Structure 1
Amino acid sequence: MDASLRDELKAFTTELAFASGELIMRYWRGEDMHVERKADSTPVTDADRGAEQLMRKMIAERYPAHGIIAEEFGNERENAEFVWVLDPIDGTKSFISHVPLFGTLIALLHKGEPVLGCIHQPVLGELLIGDNETCILNGSPTRVRPCPDLSKAVISTTDPALFAQGKHHVPGLDRLAEEAWLTRSWGDCYGYLLVATGRVDLMLDPVLETWDLMALIPIIRGAGGVITDWYGNEPTQGRFAEGATGNPGSRSAVVAGPEVHRAALGVLLG
């Protein structure tokens, strides 16, 4: 993908983020919000659905040949050369609680590989876009912060209850928390934004869906960080290869600067 096309698609990603953010903020400021529980017991709101519908409409009008993978309304042309991956509100539990630890996730895949990623937090006015080489927060470059070892690291995860329930338990997780300086639960996509902008050193989650994960890859790599699954593998594990079909499903993620990432995997894998 040449530079001019990349810049065009970045600009359109920004349009998607600001348009969906404007809709989301209407509900945040008090517009009646209807909350339902989906089959997996997670909440969904009118804001989730409205933001996704808006972004789908914008993509269809500007790039009708592009595909879409999204949380609320399914997939279209997921084998297209360019595919958008959308999570209109990542962190709906925070959103319905009026806690600004949520955001809109937008990713663009080219021939199955994530080439652009965006996290937009409309309440705080933070727009983060990465392209695997650079990461820009509100127009300024940002990087993961240097951290020499785990004893000085701030680590975070979305929901400690997932570990307590035994889902994707990794031996050594408790020891990882013991070795870190601080352990927090600044969760969902905002935790990864904090890593990419140098405010948290390690973010890890045992369960991420496709729409949770794809935007994170170009962002973290663009900020100089490392993103793998819990076992040090590529986060996509080749399942977005050109010609692949269907929803690749859930994955895990360990995200940090190189030194902390290496140390964290050493603890997690014993």
Structure 2
Amino acid sequence: MFWAEICQFAHDISERVGLHLKADFGTVHPSEKSDGSWVTRCDRWADQALRDAIAARFPDHGLLTEETLHEFPPQDWCWIVDPLDGTTNFALGIPMWGISLGLLYRGTPVFGCVHFPVLGQTFHGFWAGNSGLTLPQGAFCNHQPIRVSTAALSPNQLFSFCTRSITALQQEPAVSLTLPLKVRMLGVSTYNLLSIASGMTLGGVEATPKVWDIAATWAIVHAAGAQWIPLQHQPFPLEVGRNYQALSYPTLVVARPDLAPQFLPFSVLLGSPA
């Protein structure tokens, strides 16, 4: 019953917040944060709305969010919230942006839910890992099971980069960007990684994702059978009392272990300290 409640709550609150955000989609003026990324009043409103909803339903759970709470709390259960992943897309009227909720047990994600309001897609998944918990099994999009692709490398298959990974590789003349498949740049870290979980792409790399970018996708990607390859250090478990605002986790995710050698030679360049 606990897990059914968790799943239903995550779907309901992300859809409710998403409906509100759609009213301002493409119309708000962003400002710059200290790291150069954009933030809008919608990010801040959604952060507050999600924190309030979680605190009301699960008052004993901890919280860590992109916009306000950056220090990992001492509770066994903690929600990590990205209230609006893809703020640039949101502000510019590009429909690929989402709301991300990850639930951690003793510092490691065991459940994730990511809702993309304009796309009409909601992903969720459960991953017990080494937690010792008994969980439901699987990864889902709109409640239908998803799984990584079994396709072979070909010019008709896809690999996703982020903006910063492309920039980093362009500054390394010894590395060729020639790949045996097509390249995409989706502009949203969660959707980048979830596209692998759902079989749309064979791999993806993120150069500077923060913990709120990967907490929900960690559970879903693993549940779908993908391989997560940290390029600098393991992201989980998180440490109680540590501030995660400035810490990045360069990451490569591939649909299958046999694909890793194809992408690791250039991906490891992204693992230098952020």
Q: Distance in 2 between matches of 1:171 and 1:224?
A: 34
Letter of the 1:261 counterpart: A
Contact 1:127 1:137 in 2 (8 A): yes
Contact 2:72 2:244 in 1 (8 A): no
- Structure 1 residue 96 displacement after superposition: 0.8
Structure 1 pair 79–171 and aligned structure 2 pair: CA distance change class (3 A): farther
- Structure 1 residue 16 displacement after superposition: 2.1
Structure 1 pair 79–146 and aligned structure 2 pair: CA distance change class (3 A): same
- Find the counterpart in structure 2 of residue 164 from structure 1: 167
Q: What secondary structure does 1:207 align onto?
A: coil
- Find the counterpart in structure 2 of residue 265 from structure 1: 264
- Find the counterpart in structure 2 of residue 180 from structure 1: 180
Q: Name stretches of at least 5 consecutive residues in structure 1 with no aligned partner.
A: none
Letter of the 1:164 counterpart: T
Runs of 4+ in structure 1 over 3 Å off: 149-153, 169-172, 266-270
Of the candidates 155, 160, 168, which is equivalent to residue 159 of structure 2?
Answer: 155
Q: Name stretches of at least 5 consecutive residues in structure 2 with no aligned partner.
A: 128-136, 270-274
Letter of the 1:126 counterpart: Q
Residues 67-106 of structure 1 correspond to what in structure 2 (within 5 A)? 67-75=62-70, 78-106=73-101
- Find the counterpart in structure 2 of residue 256 from structure 1: 254
- For residues 183-221 of structure 1, give each alpha carbon's deviation from its aligned partner in whole angstroms, at most 9, with x where no partner exists: 111132222222121111111011111111111110101
Alignment pair present for 1:139 and 2:140: no
- Find the counterpart in structure 2 of residue 27 from structure 1: 24
TM-score by length of 2: 0.84
- Find the counterpart in structure 2 of residue 39 from structure 1: 34
Of the candidates 4, 7, 10, which is equivalent to residue 4 of structure 2?
Answer: 7
Structure 1 pair 69–269 and aligned structure 2 pair: CA distance change class (3 A): closer
Structure 1 pair 268–74 and aligned structure 2 pair: CA distance change class (3 A): closer
* Aligned residue-pair number: 257
Alignment pair present for 1:191 and 2:192: yes
- For residues 88-126 of structure 1, give each alpha carbon's deviation from its aligned partner in whole angstroms, at most 9, with x where no partner exists: 111111111111222111101011110011221100110
Letter of the 1:10 counterpart: C
- Find the counterpart in structure 2 of residue 228 from structure 1: 229
Q: Distance in 1 between matches of 2:213 and 2:195?
A: 15
Q: What secondary structure does 1:247 align onto?
A: coil
Contact 1:152 1:180 in 2 (8 A): no
Contact 1:147 1:257 in 2 (8 A): no
Letter of the 2:181 counterpart: W
- Once the two structures are aligned, what percentage of the paired residues are identical? 26
Q: Distance in 2 between matches of 1:227 and 1:110?
A: 19
- For residues 118-177 of structure 1, give each alpha carbon's deviation from its aligned partner in whole angstroms, at most 9, with x where no partner exists: 221100110000112411100100111113347664111121x5542579x8897x43x4
Q: Distance in 2 between matches of 1:225 and 1:19?
A: 30
Letter of the 2:17 counterpart: S
Letter of the 2:167 counterpart: A
Contact 1:116 1:215 in 2 (8 A): yes
Contact 2:108 2:237 in 1 (8 A): no
Q: Distance in 2 between matches of 1:76 and 1:245?
A: 5
Q: Distance in 2 between matches of 1:81 and 1:15?
A: 23
Q: Distance in 1 between matches of 2:52 and 2:13?
A: 10
Structure 1 pair 171–247 and aligned structure 2 pair: CA distance change class (3 A): farther
- Find the counterpart in structure 1 of residue 48 from structure 2: 53
Alignment pair present for 1:201 and 2:231: no
Q: Distance in 2 between matches of 1:101 and 1:230?
A: 26
Q: What secondary structure does 1:179 align onto?
A: coil
Contact 1:25 1:122 in 2 (8 A): yes
TM-score by length of 1: 0.85
Structure 1 pair 114–150 and aligned structure 2 pair: CA distance change class (3 A): farther
Contact 1:106 1:118 in 2 (8 A): yes
